Structure 1
Amino acid sequence: MVLLLIALALLFSGCASTDRWQAEEHKAKEVTSCKVHFREEKDFSFFRIEANRKVDYRVFTMKNPSRVVLDLFCQDVKVSTGPIRVGKHPWGTRIVYQAHVKKIREEIVSSEPFILEIKVERQTEKLPEEEKPLRVKVPAFSVRGIKKEAKGYWIETSCDEFFRAVEDGQVLYAGNDLKSYGWVLIVKHKDGYMSVYTYASDLLVKRRGEAVKKNQPLGKVGRRDESCGILYELRFPDGSPVKFELER
Structure 2
Amino acid sequence: MTRPEWAPEDIDITVANAARMYDYSLGGFHNFAVDREMVEKVMSMVPNARQIGLANRAFLGRVVRHLVASGVRQFLDVGSGIPTLASVHEVAQQVDPRARVMYVDLDPVAVAHGQAILAGNPNADVMVGDVRHPDDIVRHPAVSGLLDFSEPIAVMLIAVLHFVPDSDDPAGIVRRFREAVRPGSYVALSHGSPPPQREEDADRVSEVYQRTSTPLTLRSAAEIEGLLDGLEIVAPGVVPVTQWHPDLAEGDVEDRPEVLAAVGRKP
Larger radius of gyration: 1
Instruction: Name whichever structure is richer in helix by fraction.
Output: 2
**Normalised TM-score (structure 2):** 0.28
